[in-house]
Amino acid sequence: MGKNRKDEVYGTLGKSESLFVVQGKSRPGSLVFESLAPFPGYYNYQENNPKPVYLYVALDHEYSVFDIERAKLAVKKTYDWRFEAAKGKIDLFDKHFDVVRLRHLDSFDQLIAIQNEFMTAGIKLKMNTLTNVKNEKGFIQLLKIFNIIKLGKGIYIDTSEDYHAYLLLPHKLTQNEFDEATLKVKYNWELTGFDAASGCFFIRGKLKEMVRIYSKNLTIEYLEALRKLYLSKIKG
């Protein structure tokens, strides 16, 4: 029972990405990071994709998820654009940045309009003090809503984002423990490649630790084998 029930759950994702500072395409003086390869473990993601993939708009301080959601809805009411915005934070070098992650933009031409609408909604932007960030590794943590459906034991598929699945883990791992387990899994994995990120979400009153999997091969057999391997490497 409940296997085909759709759930809208709140949770987090943590991952490292190579970041660039956007030049000449954002509101003058503002700071926006771009990730050209948000799924580094899955090498074919960037095939001939001219659209911005993931953008991170830096804010002057931390805002609540409700503030971010209100601003996003204001943009959609004005422009009727299909895009998503999520609260996040980035640790880069020795600095911390509160951000809004934007995805599913059709072009960079939408960025300044979105920034302007966010400012009208009371979300202030952080001024750019970084002049030469190109392909620098930053750690990103997102707080977002996941739309999921259960596929099998400990396995969920995202119903809003293509090629996203979530494998439940028995307990929380530190980021180092997660990275080590993922490395061991990839060394012993013979099927299609994947990208992984650590996270958790609340579902039906319970907190579940999980690994987010990005792959175009999300069959139940693939995911069951992958989860089984993760569990063995965590225990080992």
| Residues 210-220 pLDDT 10s | 999 999 999 99
- DSSP category for residue 127: B
pLDDT of residue 1: 42
Distances, alpha carbon 158 to alpha carbons 109, 130, 152, in Å: 28, 35, 13
pLDDT of residue 48: 55
CA nearest neighbour of 33 among 91, 75, 72: 91
> Do 169 and 52 belong together in one domain?
no
pLDDT of residue 181: 97
> Do 159 and 127 belong together in one domain?
no
Asked if the structure places residue 51 within a domain, the reply is yes
> Do 124 and 41 belong together in one domain?
yes
> Do 97 and 153 belong together in one domain?
no
Tokens, residue 160 = 């809003």
> Do 100 and 53 belong together in one domain?
yes
Asked if the structure places residue 38 within a domain, the reply is yes
> Do 19 and 108 belong together in one domain?
yes
The C-alpha atoms of residue 158 and residue 175 are separated, in whole angstroms, by 23
Asked if the structure places residue 1 within a domain, the reply is no
Tokens 């969920």 belong to residue: 156
Question: Angle, to 10 degrees, between the axis of helix 111-120 and the axis of helix 65-79?
Answer: 120
Residue ranges making up the domain that contains 153 = 147-235
Last residue of a domain, one of 91, 123, 139: 139
Query: What does the pLDDT look like over 115-144, one tens digit per residue?
Result: 999 999 999 999 988 767 788 899 999 999
Last residue of a domain, one of 107, 139, 171: 139
Question: Angle, to 10 degrees, between the axis of helix 175-187 and the axis of helix 220-235?
Answer: 120
Last residue of a domain, one of 111, 139, 167: 139
Asked if the structure places residue 155 within a domain, the reply is yes
Asked if the structure places residue 4 within a domain, the reply is no
Residue 81 clears pLDDT 70, i.e. is over it:
yes
Asked if the structure places residue 214 within a domain, the reply is yes
> Do 161 and 213 belong together in one domain?
yes
Query: How far from chain centre, in Å, is Cα 66?
Result: 18
- pLDDT category of residue 4 using cuts at 50, 70 and 90: confident
Residue 80 clears pLDDT 50, i.e. is over it:
yes
Asked if the structure places residue 5 within a domain, the reply is no
pLDDT, mean of residues 229-235? 92
**Angle value at C-alpha 152, between 211 and 227, nearest 5 degrees:** 35
pLDDT of residue 51: 72
Whole-structure pTM value: 0.90
- pLDDT category of residue 39 using cuts at 50, 70 and 90: confident
Q: List, in order, residues 6 or more apart from 235 with CB less than 8 Å away.
A: none
> Do 39 and 132 belong together in one domain?
yes
> Do 15 and 130 belong together in one domain?
yes
pLDDT of residue 5: 80
The C-alpha atoms of residue 117 and residue 203 are separated, in whole angstroms, by 32
Cβ distance 156 to 213 under 8 Å? Answer: no
> Do 103 and 159 belong together in one domain?
no
> Do 135 and 176 belong together in one domain?
no
Number of independent structural domains in the chain? 2
> Do 32 and 58 belong together in one domain?
yes
Asked if the structure places residue 2 within a domain, the reply is no
Query: What does the pLDDT look like over 166-209, one tens digit per residue?
Result: 999 999 999 999 999 999 999 999 998 999 999 999 999 999 99
For the chain, percent of residues with pLDDT exceeding 90: 81
Q: List, in order, residues 6 or more apart from 13 with CB less than 8 Å away.
A: 141, 142, 144, 197, 198, 199, 212
